[in-house]
Every structure is written in structure tokens, then in C-alpha cells.
Structure 1
């Protein structure tokens, strides 16, 4: 075992949930993150600052930014020249890929990095998701996002990593009657990689959320490798363990106050440390009708473990004409069981599907609470307006899941 650091490129990086697991694992160094969304790209730059300042015992400067004592520009100005250029804010497409290659090549040359060990990432999932296909009259067959995997293959051909991870929603297996998935596997094979896949649940990696993802892992065809057996993490906790130390919110204002010490789960998972600063604990405004619906939905779950359907509500509270579909549009995050339902980016539109379990608050989750359900640590700072933060969180791979993946990949790389 060589115990050296391994290099990786993160494609379709989002806010960095997958990358966070690889960096936090301690065995991987990011060469570049490629992300088209400007808010997510800014979040990646801020996270790059965090790790640089932490490594150089200057976290007080990062905390000054969290407190609003210095501006983002002042924070970024404290980074070495070129460090933040590793975040490439560009769409990956036929017209941009060569330019992105040039940026990555320059990074590799300046850092004197000879090889990229692994490429990670997954293209946007909307074209593969069951919900997206149900909404589209053509079943998303002609959505150009169906073919972004071909851009991923271009990066494999360019940098020839020994391994790669390609993640997406389970719907990718059945998109276009399975033809899309077969095309993906075929093109990975044609690029010189042996591949295998599993459907993995974030809950098996210590995340207090059921979130299933298809994890395709590939390796150069001449390597004697099999799909890793990832270690199952068992926790004794409920969702309330990631909510109870946060101050009650009654209005749509941010409140950066912890009201108690971290729970055992928060400490063990690394989500909260004793010296953390609470940020993003802010929720949206709710009108009186929604508050009354929330009260009924929360009470039904907390008293009887019963999920109210939309048609169970009194007629005066029902304003939607559609009474045949999406009847679970109001859903409480169950605090007294081990796993929440899956966090999705739709929380940026409204909070009805992610209602806080405390009936005395009758509100949807705050940004920080959503981030915790996704297992982001409290020191993770998301850039952009509130809706953009929710999108970044909802689209992310949970960092604890990513950390488990990284450990399994590192064990293989250290032995080949």
C-alpha cells in the first residue's frame, strides 16, 4: 500500500457533494471541478477556500466570512494565484469541451501532475428521472441531456483515468426502454473500460435519508478489479437528531443560534463540530392556509404515523383542481424514524413536501436542515439566493455516501 494522494476530476460537479466525500476522505486531491451553474460554481470556490485555510491553520478567516465580517471577494483574494481557477464554470457541450480540456491541461501542467487517477460525476438526472419522463409527452426521448454521457466519455478518452464513478438516478436503467443505459455501457466499453453497477442507498452509508442512486464504476480493461464491496454504516439515530439543536423558526428570517450541544450523531457523522458557526438556518414565508395544512399533516404523523393525502383535507383548504395526482404533495419529514424521505431540488419551489416535524413551528425545512439531511457539514457554505441553495442541496450526492464510495475506491487504487 502506497498511501499516496490520488487525483480526480469532478464533472457536472453541482455544489460538490460527491467531491466533498473524496476530499474529506483525505486520500484525494481535486484537479478540477466543472459545473455550469454559477451559484454552484461559486459554492465550489468557497469550499476550496475552506480547505486551503484549514490546511494552513487559518480557519478564523473562513469563519469571518461566514459571519459576514469580510466579503466574498476579500475571502477569495486570500487564495494563492490560480487556486480558484480549478473551478471551471462552464457547460459541458460539444462547443465547450475543448476549451475545458485546455483549462484542465494548464492546471495539470502548473501543478506538475502527470496522471488523473479517477473521474467522478454524473450528468443532470432530469432526462432519466421517472417524474421528468412522466411530465414530458415524449417521455424525455428527445431531451439532449439524455446524451451528456458522451461528453463524460470524451473526458475518459482524454485523461485515461484508471477508474471512474458515474452516478445517476435509478430511472437511468429504464430510460428509453433501457436503450439509453445499454448505450452508456457500450460506449464505456468502447473507451477501454470494464464497468459494473449497483443501486446503492445513501442510508447504508450513515445518511439519515433514503436516497437510491445507480453507481456505475469503471476501470481500465487491463486491470484485475471487481466492483468494490462498500462498508455498511449502521447508526442509532433518528431524523430528530439532526434537527433538535437548532433554534425554532417562526418567521422567514435567518437565526444563527445553536440551542444545545451537538447530538451523538452530529458529532460522529462530522456534520457539526463544537467550533462550527451556524449559517443558512432560514426558511421561507408561509401563508395562513399552508400553515393550517402543515399543522394537520404534522399532527397526523406525530400522533398516528399517518400520512394525510390531499383529499383528506377539508374542502376549504383545497385550492388545487387536480384531485387525482400528487395527493402526497404535503409531506412531513418524519422526525421519529431513522431516515427521511428523499431530498429533491423541488424544495426550491415550495416546502410542502418537506415539512418540519415540530407542530409548534408549522413550517418547511430551513436551508441548513435540508443540508443536514443530505449530510453536508455545518461548515459548508452555499452561495446564491435561498432558492439556489435549495437546488444545490437537493441535487447533490450526500457527502457521507460519497465518503464511503471514496474509501472503497481508495482501497482499490492503493493495491494496483
Structure 2
């Protein structure tokens, strides 16, 4: 039985990838960011060509032998049309509904997944805002989510967001969500989850809300009891990657060694024999000197660099009273890394590669692996080719597919 879902606020598709892997079928992905929509369409092309035993055509695209336009020309328009590049809201909902219902063909929706942009609820977002995000319309996108529940009447929904949702508005937003969803006919449970409990080698805390139709006799398992942490360390994600310097890398490379138990077991290195988007940022001499100091300090003392401990000539930031850890090594010998966030699109200082000889911040592919994306996942920009900034932004905003997969399995058990 094929269980169908709609993905709202889909981003690059990390949540969706987990549900597809668990056997769900996407009806539509709705996303306002154009670059992320190209990533979603490229992933649609991947799944279609793989199902048609034409995977070599996808590999040709990864190698740059055919353009994105040429890749898409080989995919039926109805498949690419499942990606809807519009912001959810009153102005665009009629067009979104029309596109979704064209894909549905009078069939039922079993599930809605996705969560609104997190800036409105995140502690960092509120700290940066002059008025703590008060009046920001993103605070109320859950109301739109409720409208989609009302229209498509799925049996269940999965709503993902940041921990700050618990405290935003002193808990008022979460309580209003609960009341709204109940009014639409849905009960819900709120779970505070850690990605590393689901086998992801990253410290990433998130809120997952599982909702279901009130009239259904549904028992939702306690997701907070899931403990799937592995014995592997972050180094397992980097072992097979070619060593490159700052500013080096290519659209595709060969792996430097065979796979390992973690990469194969978690479907990160999943059979494809070329490595894509292993591309490092260029860095100034000053940044590289700071990186060397940070890595040396971790390697010799297992201690983090405090910005104020740097030599005076390397301290260029005016703010010396906060953000002491603005330069941070991705520690290879730890069971998980620091949280990968969208700020990685602006600079790589918080994600320094642990190999002092490479002396750089992590690449697109390394960031994707920290998020548990498979190596055949390609992150697009608006323009064809390699676009580092939108790729990093999409990865930082994503739900780890490995975490999504385990949640999807629990939901599938309930629905079947």
C-alpha cells in the first residue's frame, strides 16, 4: 500500500527523503525558495530515473556531462510539476491547491509533513530581531498549516521545528497551535528530540509534533525513548574523502578509499561511485592562521579556541565580550558534531575541518554528510552548476534524512 503525503515548507527535502526511503509517496513539495525547488526537482529526477533503470543518466548529470535543463527534459512534466515554487499563504493558496489536486487525481492524502521557517521561533532569530519577532507573519504560518489540514484531511501530520517553539511567546504559540489543530479535528503530541539519538553524528535538537485525526484510535509511541546512537565518531564521515586545500575541489571527484560500516549502514555512501560537491571555500591567510591555532588547540588540549586568546594581530572583530567560540573545529573524535545551521552559508569559521594539513572549513559534501544526506543528493542554486552559498543554506536548514526515516517508519507502522 502506497501512503501519500504533502510536504509543506519543504526546503531541500531532508524530511521528505526520509519518508520516501520508508516507502511513502510524495504528492507535492511546496517551497518558496527557488534554489531549494531546483534541488527538489533534481531529486525527483533521481528517483524517477532510478525507478526506470536509467540511473546512468543521473550520473551523467552529476559529472556535468549534461545540463540541468537536459536532465529535466528527460523527466515527465507531471513529476517535475510536483514541486510547487510558491510561498504558503492566502495569496498563493488557490494556485497551490490547484497544483496539488492536479497531482492527487481525486486520491486521498494520508499525511502532511513539514514545518514553517524557524526564524520566528528560534532563540537566535528572536535575539537578532529588534522586537523579538513580534508581529512577524512567520509566527502565524501554523494557521496556514491548519488550513491545509482542513482541506486535505490527512489521517496524520508531522510538524518539525526548533526548540524555541516551546518558549516562543512564553508558550502561547504552541498552545494556540494545539487549540487550532484540535479545532480542525486533530490531537497532537509534542516530542523534544535529539538527532544523535537517531544515528545522526550531529548535536541537533528539534521539536517534532505528531498529530492525528481525533476520531482515529491511534497510539503514538514515545519518540523520546528512541536511542539509536552509534559507536562511531565524526571521523567516520570524513575517512574516505580526498584531501583538499582551501579553495580546492570539484563538481565531482573519486573517493580516496573504500566505504566504512557507518557510511554504508546509514545509506550515506549508497553505491554511487563518484563524489559530488566536495568543494572548499577559499580563505584568507588570516583565517587560515586562526584555523591552524584552533585545530592545534583541539589536537593537543582537546579544548576550544576562545577568540580573546588569539594574538592581537588576528583579532579583527569589534565585539570582544560575546561569541567567544566563533571559530570552532568539527571534532573528529567526538560522537557528534556541533549543530549545522544556515549561517554556514555566510562563512565556515564555526565548522573548521579537523585535519590541520587541509587547513580549511568543511565542504558542501561534508556538511551534507553531517546532516546524513546520501552522497547522491545534489544541492542546486538558481543558476546551473555549483552554487556554494545556496547549497550550504539548504543543508543548514534541513531535517536530517536519517532522523526523518526513523520517524517515518514509526508513522508508517501506525497508518498501516
* TM-score using structure 1 length: 0.96
* 1:123-169 C-alpha deviation (Å, 9 max, x unpaired): 00011110111111211112111011111111100000000001100
Alignment of 1:277-356 (within 5 A): 277-356=274-353
* 1:165-199 C-alpha deviation (Å, 9 max, x unpaired): 01100001111111111111111111110011110
Could you tell me whether the CA contact under 8 Å between 1:356 and 1:364 is conserved in 2? yes
Q: How far apart are 1:302 and its partner, in Å?
A: 1.5
Q: Distance in 2 between matches of 1:16 and 1:44?
A: 6
Could you tell me whether the CA contact under 8 Å between 2:200 and 2:229 is conserved in 1? no
Alpha-carbon RMSD: 1.0
Could you tell me whether the CA contact under 8 Å between 2:4 and 2:25 is conserved in 1? yes
Could you tell me whether the CA contact under 8 Å between 1:194 and 1:220 is conserved in 2? yes
Alignment of 1:190-205 (within 5 A): 190-205=183-198
What is the aligned partner in structure 1 of residue 407 from structure 2? 405
Give the alignment partner of residue 115 of structure 2, picking from 115, 122, 144. Answer: 122
SS of structure 2 residue aligned to 1:194: strand
Could you tell me whether the CA contact under 8 Å between 2:246 and 2:358 is conserved in 1? no
Give the alignment partner of residue 72 of structure 1, picking from 56, 68, 74. Answer: 68
SS of structure 2 residue aligned to 1:148: helix
Bigger shift: 222-231 or 80-89? 222-231
Alignment of 1:180-329 (within 5 A): 180-230=173-223, 231-255=226-250, 256-329=253-326
Q: Distance in 2 between matches of 1:102 and 1:376?
A: 31
* 1:59-97 C-alpha deviation (Å, 9 max, x unpaired): 000000000011111111111231100000111111001
SS of structure 1 residue aligned to 2:279: coil
SS of structure 1 residue aligned to 2:235: helix
Q: Distance in 2 between matches of 1:352 and 1:81?
A: 41
Bigger shift: 218-227 or 164-173? 218-227
Q: Distance in 1 between matches of 2:52 and 2:102?
A: 25
Q: Distance in 2 between matches of 1:273 and 1:176?
A: 43
Could you tell me which runs of 5 or more consecutive residues in structure 2 were left unpaired when the two chains were aligned.
382-386
Give the alignment partner of residue 392 of structure 1, picking from 375, 391, 394. Answer: 394
SS of structure 2 residue aligned to 1:82: helix
Q: Is 1:42 aligned to 2:38, yes or no?
A: yes
Give the alignment partner of residue 160 of structure 2, picking from 150, 161, 167. Answer: 167
Alignment of 1:368-379 (within 5 A): 368-379=365-376
Could you tell me whether the CA contact under 8 Å between 1:276 and 1:379 is conserved in 2? no
Q: Is 1:16 aligned to 2:13, yes or no?
A: yes
Could you tell me whether the CA contact under 8 Å between 1:228 and 1:409 is conserved in 2? no
Q: Is 1:145 aligned to 2:138, yes or no?
A: yes
What is the aligned partner in structure 1 of residue 88 from structure 2? 92
Q: Distance in 1 between matches of 2:323 and 2:207?
A: 25
Could you tell me whether the CA contact under 8 Å between 2:332 and 2:354 is conserved in 1? yes
Q: Distance in 2 between matches of 1:362 and 1:105?
A: 51
Q: Distance in 2 between matches of 1:197 and 1:179?
A: 14
Could you tell me whether the CA contact under 8 Å between 2:272 and 2:376 is conserved in 1? no
Could you tell me whether the CA contact under 8 Å between 2:246 and 2:359 is conserved in 1? no
Q: Distance in 2 between matches of 1:302 and 1:338?
A: 16
- Aligned residue pairs total 407
Q: Is 1:177 aligned to 2:170, yes or no?
A: yes
Could you tell me which runs of 5 or more consecutive residues in structure 1 were left unpaired when the two chains were aligned.
none
Q: How far apart are 1:264 and its partner, in Å?
A: 1.1
What is the aligned partner in structure 2 of residue 52 from structure 1? 48
Could you tell me whether the CA contact under 8 Å between 1:267 and 1:273 is conserved in 2? yes
Q: How far apart are 1:210 and its partner, in Å?
A: 1.1
Could you tell me whether the CA contact under 8 Å between 2:298 and 2:329 is conserved in 1? yes
Q: How far apart are 1:226 and its partner, in Å?
A: 2.8
